[in-house]
Structure 1
Amino acid sequence: MQEDPGHSRRPGPTAGLLCGILFVGSALVVLCSSYRSLDGNQQRIGRSQRDVQQTAGPNSSSPPPEKPVAFLSVPMKDDGSRGCKRAVVRWNGNLTRGGFKYEEGQLVVPINGRYWVYFQLIYSTTPKVSECSKPLLLSQGVIWVQKAHDDNKTLLQVEDTVPDYKRMFRKTLQASAAFDLAAGDRLFVLTNSPGLLYNLGYLGADLEL
């Protein structure tokens, strides 16, 4: 007797048993793979936790050390007596963290490292200044006092010219760069025109991680 081509053959008991075995085997493979994956993740988490504990120290509740950051702002206004004589800029506002100190216009570096140093000063017309030369050369710089050598070096220098400072003008001078500094080094801003300073400006230093 010929089989009807329009009907499919039902699987026998042997085929069903084979499929069941294959299914159970696949499930076991997937389950084992999942356990291996979970185990690997737990190992990564464990390593990360150990790293954090080692960074934080033996007491896990101790906060990590603060990143050294300093930002001095609002240069003190000059009464005009210093005019265009070189002077160290002093600041009304200072924000220091991570061991930075501010002393008499100077920033004291807390630890060795590479720091991003940046500064800006603004100059404007003032009727109190009369001894400046024409044309006026505005000059300012960040001075680096090295503790190890007791020597001064200019890290950043900016200059600009004002044809007639008695006419209304406003000039903004700024610069920034990265430098390797040592603990105990000092930074300060020197300008040749303190009598023309506007009350906006800043000096900042951030440790680069």
Structure 2
Amino acid sequence: MKEPDSRSSGTKSKLQQMTDVMNPSAMLTVLLDSNSEGEYLEWESEKGNAHCRGGFNYSGGGLVVPRTAIYRVFLQVTYERRKECSGQLRLSNSVFFITESYKHNVLLLSSVDTVSSSLEHWRKSLYTAGSFHLEAGGRLRVTSSHRECVVDREELLFFGAEHLSSEGTVP
């Protein structure tokens, strides 16, 4: 027998709420037709596979960290050949962290590859991840080169973070 979906009734069980608070996680996916302008990529935070749980919040291109802890941060961006993508392309993505105490972007993750667009068909996925001590209230943001070549499917373009351990504790 299938369990009732608590999302459809608008309520969550107390157990699910406790799990969300104890294990904050966020998975953001491609926001259709919105990544062509601005310094940082824009993301979907609610539809499809996207979610923000346990205090994570998304606004204005930034994923806001709920509490000071160690988090696994991840990013995948997939590119493919299009008319606008010509010549030798240097594909690159970066995840930055900014806090009130630093007031500037700190580079956390970066991935780089080169592809020749002389190939008739090509697709290239760049994935990167790492574990970082992040301060509460800080924002994670993503930049990407050659946005005109970025694939707009949520299973090929995603970004997020998950709680690994709190300060002074071991997972």
Q: Do Structure 1 and Structure 2 share a fold, with TM-score over 0.5?
A: yes
Give the direction of change, closer, same or farther, for the CA distance of 1:96–1:78 in structure 2 (3 Å limit).
closer
Aligned pair partner of 1:173 in 126, 133, 139: 126
Q: Which whole-Å deviations, capped at 9, do the CAs of 1:29-75 have from their partners, x for residues lacking one?
A: xxxxxxxxxxxxxxxxxxxxxxxxxxxxxxxx896334211110124
**1:40 corresponds to:** none
Aligned mates of 1:157, 1:183 — CA distance in 2: 22
Q: Does 1:88 align with 2:40?
A: yes
**2:73 corresponds to:** 117
The aligned runs of 1:129-140 (5 Å cut-off) are 129=84, 134-140=87-93
Which has the larger share of helix?
Answer: 1
Number of aligned residue pairs: give it: 142
Matched position secondary structure for 2:66: coil
Unaligned runs of 5+ in 1: 1-60
1:113 deviation in Å? 0.3
Moved over 6 A (4+): none
**2:140 corresponds to:** 187
Identity %: 30
Contact 2:81/2:117, CA 8 A, preserved across alignment: no
Q: Which whole-Å deviations, capped at 9, do the CAs of 1:77-98 have from their partners, x for residues lacking one?
A: 468x66xxx8421123431011
Contact 2:27/2:158, CA 8 A, preserved across alignment: yes
Unaligned runs of 5+ in 2: 1-13, 166-171
Contact 1:74/1:92, CA 8 A, preserved across alignment: yes
**1:102 corresponds to:** 58
Contact 1:78/1:195, CA 8 A, preserved across alignment: no
Give the direction of change, closer, same or farther, for the CA distance of 1:165–1:105 in structure 2 (3 Å limit).
farther
Which has the larger share of strand?
Answer: 2
TM-score (norm 2): 0.73
Contact 1:126/1:166, CA 8 A, preserved across alignment: no
TM-score (norm 1): 0.61
Aligned pair partner of 1:143 in 96, 107, 120: 96
Contact 2:90/2:112, CA 8 A, preserved across alignment: yes
